[in-house]
Structure 1
């Protein structure tokens, strides 16, 4: 299991209009599938999420901004990601820097990320931006022409029950019942590679229901 992402703040109340109905559950399932499909087909999660938020009119406050989350003791890079980075098990062999952030806009958290990266493969200007600005990692390292490789994915919540295509009835609450939204909906772990194929970063990204917006009228 990869390093967990503890909750930092509650989900804002303006996601409550999703109702516990079959229609809203099916709509959410479609939105999650479409959003995740975009992420899986892209090289930059940040740019893809910004495009999604713009296309679905969830927010116009773009580009996204980084909120740094303080950590007293940076965790080691999880073994599956360290192996994907082709870094020996000895933590001193290749130094990694770590940062934990939230990607936000309009006071809403759209994703939470942990990032381990090799400072020796970034420019001094990139390193300064990562340490002193609120610019997302994907924007900072864009000059590297990077690509993204998925290592693991986890479904953390589904609005539909397991095996729902073969279930005669999709559960729903009494009319007007708000759907209880989770803190997170899915998680991706991936590595980023330069244009020449060298792995320089590993990231664990956890996405929130804020990426699904509000229900249709």
Structure 2
């Protein structure tokens, strides 16, 4: 009972500590701009882990902490023909699977499914990936890899379609914005400096990327 109480109380305390975004037209516009900024930063950088490191620090999500990975060893997903095609491997080539949550402090910023080719990594890299919760991007950083985005999708639209044409923006009368659990999805693959693919990922970014106090909008004079 005590353990259960601590889990529930801890989760509630964490939720209460998360800053709320007021449900106003300006805040909805600001939320969209923030999501588009994160999307742009992910698209223009090779490492999602390092991008989230900077995001976490910039927005004060966890003072002085780096993003870490928490592995989900209970989940397994098959290696499809499409994945093998992206990785350019035949049916006999082993492909490993790794599911992690990228966490900053106590905040889960993304949940990622990663399929990779162990034979294209070093022995030390494979040991680190198999025996620790180290983020994939940090482990394979010596490969000087390049990230190639296949798809980027906003899972939440704070503003209605054609809002820029004067369509009314609905609000909840001063309450907080209802932000869904996941707000952004990226699909990408990684290649070595020689252009050889070795990993493909599906990343789902959570509402926790917005877990900071929004600043009031102040137009320039």
How would you bin the TM-score normalised by the shorter chain?
0.7 to 0.9
Residues 71 and 101 in structure 2, CA contact (< 8 A), matched pair in contact too: yes
Q: C-alpha distance in 2, partners of 1:210/1:63?
A: 15
Tell me if 1:75 matches 2:77.
yes
Provide structure 1 residue ranges, at least 5 long, that are not aligned to the other structure. 1-9
Provide structure 2 residue ranges, at least 5 long, that are not aligned to the other structure. 1-10, 217-221
Give me the TM-score of the superposition, normalised by structure 1: 0.86
* CA shift digits 1:135-166 (9 cap, x unpaired): 21000000000000011222211111122211
**Which position in structure 2 is the counterpart of 1:114?**
113
| Aligned length, in residue pairs | 203
Q: C-alpha distance in 2, partners of 1:153/1:78?
A: 21
Residues 154 and 184 in structure 2, CA contact (< 8 A), matched pair in contact too: yes
Larger Rg, first or second structure (1 or 2): 2
Higher helix share: 2
Residues 160 and 167 in structure 2, CA contact (< 8 A), matched pair in contact too: no
Shift of the alpha carbon at 1:56? 2.5
Q: Does the residue aligned with 2:112 lie in a helix, a strand or coil? A: strand
Alignment counterpart, residue 193 of structure 2, candidates 192, 195, 199? 195
* CA shift digits 1:26-74 (9 cap, x unpaired): 11111001110000011111111111221222322432111111225x2
Give me the TM-score of the superposition, normalised by structure 2: 0.85
Structure 1 vs Structure 2 CA RMSD: 1.9
Residues 44 and 148 in structure 1, CA contact (< 8 A), matched pair in contact too: yes
* CA shift digits 1:84-131 (9 cap, x unpaired): 22234x3xx221000111011221100000000000011111111112
Q: Does the residue aligned with 1:63 lie in a helix, a strand or coil? A: coil
Shift of the alpha carbon at 1:25? 0.7
Shift of the alpha carbon at 1:79? 4.5
Q: Does the residue aligned with 2:182 lie in a helix, a strand or coil? A: coil
Q: C-alpha distance in 2, partners of 1:60/1:188?
A: 26
Shift of the alpha carbon at 1:76? 1.7
Alignment counterpart, residue 206 of structure 2, candidates 175, 190, 208? 208
Q: C-alpha distance in 2, partners of 1:16/1:51?
A: 19
Alignment counterpart, residue 24 of structure 2, candidates 21, 25, 30? 21
Q: Does the residue aligned with 2:85 lie in a helix, a strand or coil? A: helix
> Which structure would you say has the larger RCO, counting Cα contacts within 8 Å and 6 or more residues apart?
1
**Which position in structure 1 is the counterpart of 2:129?**
130
**Which position in structure 2 is the counterpart of 1:182?**
180
Q: C-alpha distance in 2, partners of 1:46/1:133?
A: 16
